[in-house]
Amino acid sequence: MVLEVIFHKMRSFFLPKDLHPLSTDFSMLTYLILLSMVIYYLISKGKSWISKFMRLSKQPTQHFADEDKDRVIVVGSGILGSSIATVLARDGRQVTLVERDLKEPDRIIGELLQPGGCNVLKKLGLGDCLETTDEAQTTTGYLIHDWKTGASVHIPYPTDNNNPSTQQEGKAFRHGKFISSLRTAAMNEANIKVVEGTVQNLIEDNDVVTGVRYKERGNDESKDLHAPLVIVADGGFSKFRKQLHDDKVTVSSHFVGCIMKNCPQAKSQHAELVLSDPNPVLIYKISDEETRVLVDVRSQTLPKNIKEYLLEKTLPTLPEHIAGPFEDGVINERIRSMPCKFLPPSTVRKSGVLMLGDAFNMRHPLTGGGMSVAFNDVAIWRDLLQSIPDLRDYRQLDDAYTVFQNKRKLSHSFVVNVLAQALYELFSADDEHLSRLRDACFEYFKLGGSCVDGPVGLLSVLTPNPFLLVGHFFAVALYSMWLIIKKSGYKIHIGLYKATGTFIKACQVLFPLLWTEIRTIA
């Protein structure tokens, strides 16, 4: 009753009297929606101002001395930790890098670096790490095979803007070899002290992170290390995530992988993606003789007999040139698996600490974008920290964090995160609407021209423009509607019904993902 009175008062205040009652109701609704958005915005801004005020009013009781103003501790010497430690040391910071195991890792993650990631690595002054990675293979694009129709589509990486005759290149390698190159670069810096040890706790003083407690390898005694800035980069299985934010990690599937020996390439220097049923399969050469194959298994837990599963379900769906080496690989090589996780960018607002890399944001590995995100994030932080001479200045670091969150979305992370999740939903289609969208996506690529150039610019992280991503996504959805209606012939009413359902499904895939990005715009 009260609401009705307010509504009518507002209507007579805002709207001209001579409007049709229906149009006034619609206009009123628009006003109400706008008003609630403004109120929501003001409330959330107010909340963030208050929490910022509370956060910054706290200082550690034990102040850091002047000579500590450049000290940084980096937890984890993986993709992000090794690279950020090196660039910060080169900028004159005193870095301690703590890594629990300095042996060359043997993992099936992070083996294809997109051209956008290669370019930013060079900008960071770490391009040599690609050259020194034993037998790293150049990739110049993808070949996508559709298992159902047997058709293939060629997706070359774009050419270099400054030199149109040169094609942009990605690199594929053994993950362990690349990590070793990055670690060697870090160890060669005079300003970096590398400690082999496991970080057990983040030390807090008056709600400010002031250091870490760790155990050196082979020594049971815990030691404390202090610094005004701690960068936590302990990867996808992060131990400290729960302490710093409460966003939930979800596991959509597992990548099961093995090495194929001497597997021929359908097209030289190209990664291959098989849109097989039930799941996509990713293939790329990682050394002169070895090819990595990753089969996506859509389930929270793996089938008990994974070899049997691969031979029965996956093998029959593979193109001829891959089938033989795949069978040999499954039978003779070690089968490895990793969960494919999704963690939308979270907000870690605690003085004295930054959480970066997979500990902070993960997406499905289908598009191979994780390392490119990590290196781009490092590049943003290098620039931001260059203008903060004293790391004890928590206010400046807090402001820099806001800039980081917003800047990374526009420069790379929005596109890599949303593209990976959305493409995975389509390519691992588990209902009729998603299957239609997957087929339409393949047909869309077959159109060539901007229908390939746009998406591959996003995938390669060379032109990661969020608007371009949304545009191409809806172009695929509309193309799918058109294909459905065309196929329905004279039963156009059925075609329209199915097409509408498919379009609604496309919205259901995209909008929640967009929200996961928009909600952290500061």
Q: Smallest distance from the beta carbon of 50 to ligand FAD, in angstroms? A: 31
Residue closer to ligand FAD (CB basis): 199 or 509 = 199
With a CB cutoff of 8 Å and minimum separation 6, the contacts of 432 are none
Pairing verdict, β 208-216 and 192-205: antiparallel
Q: List residues bridging with 284 in a β-sheet.
A: 292
Give the CA angle between residues 279, 418, 119 to the nearest 5°: 100
Position of minimal CB gap to ligand FAD:
78
Residue closer to ligand FAD (CB basis): 55 or 239 = 239
- Burial environment of residue 38 by CB neighbours within 10 A (0 to 12, 13 to 18, 19 or more): exposed
Residue closer to ligand FAD (CB basis): 311 or 338 = 338
Q: Smallest distance from the beta carbon of 340 to ligand FAD, in angstroms? A: 6
Q: Smallest distance from the beta carbon of 248 to ligand FAD, in angstroms? A: 17
Residue closer to ligand FAD (CB basis): 76 or 319 = 76
> In 469-483, which positions are buried (b, 16+ CB within 10 angstroms) versus exposed (e)?
bbebbebbbbbbbeb
Give the CA angle between residues 117, 123, 124 to the nearest 5°: 90
Q: Smallest distance from the beta carbon of 522 to ligand FAD, in angstroms? A: 22
Give the residue from 29, 10, 178 showing the smallest Cα distance to 110.
Answer: 178
Q: Smallest distance from the beta carbon of 154 to ligand FAD, in angstroms? A: 20
Q: List residues bridging with 241 in a β-sheet.
A: none
329 and 260 Cβ atoms separated by less than 8 Å: yes
C-alpha distances (whole Å) from 441 to each of 390, 434, 468, 486, 501 are 50, 10, 15, 16, 16
Residue closer to ligand FAD (CB basis): 98 or 354 = 98
Chain center to CA of 355: 15
Residue closer to ligand FAD (CB basis): 220 or 320 = 220
Q: How far, in Å, CA of 275 to CA of 208, rounded? A: 48
Q: Smallest distance from the beta carbon of 316 to ligand FAD, in angstroms? A: 23
Residue with tokens 């995100």: 373
Residue closer to ligand FAD (CB basis): 375 or 394 = 375
Q: How many CB atoms lie within 10 A of CB 403?
A: 13
Q: Residues interacting with ligand FAD, by CB under 6 A?
A: 75-81, 98-101, 108-113, 198-199, 233-236, 239, 255, 338, 340, 357-359, 365, 368-372, 374
Q: Smallest distance from the beta carbon of 329 to ligand FAD, in angstroms? A: 16
Residue closer to ligand FAD (CB basis): 140 or 396 = 140
With a CB cutoff of 8 Å and minimum separation 6, the contacts of 206 are 58, 59, 60, 61
346 and 220 Cβ atoms separated by less than 8 Å: no
Residue closer to ligand FAD (CB basis): 109 or 275 = 109
Residue closer to ligand FAD (CB basis): 50 or 251 = 251
Q: Smallest distance from the beta carbon of 111 to ligand FAD, in angstroms? A: 5
Q: How far, in Å, CA of 386 to CA of 70, rounded? A: 11
Q: Smallest distance from the beta carbon of 272 to ligand FAD, in angstroms? A: 13
Q: Smallest distance from the beta carbon of 371 to ligand FAD, in angstroms? A: 3
Residue closer to ligand FAD (CB basis): 113 or 153 = 113
196 and 217 Cβ atoms separated by less than 8 Å: yes
With a CB cutoff of 8 Å and minimum separation 6, the contacts of 155 are 141, 142, 143, 144, 445, 452, 455, 456, 459
Q: Smallest distance from the beta carbon of 190 to ligand FAD, in angstroms? A: 22
Give the CA angle between residues 167, 172, 175 to the nearest 5°: 150
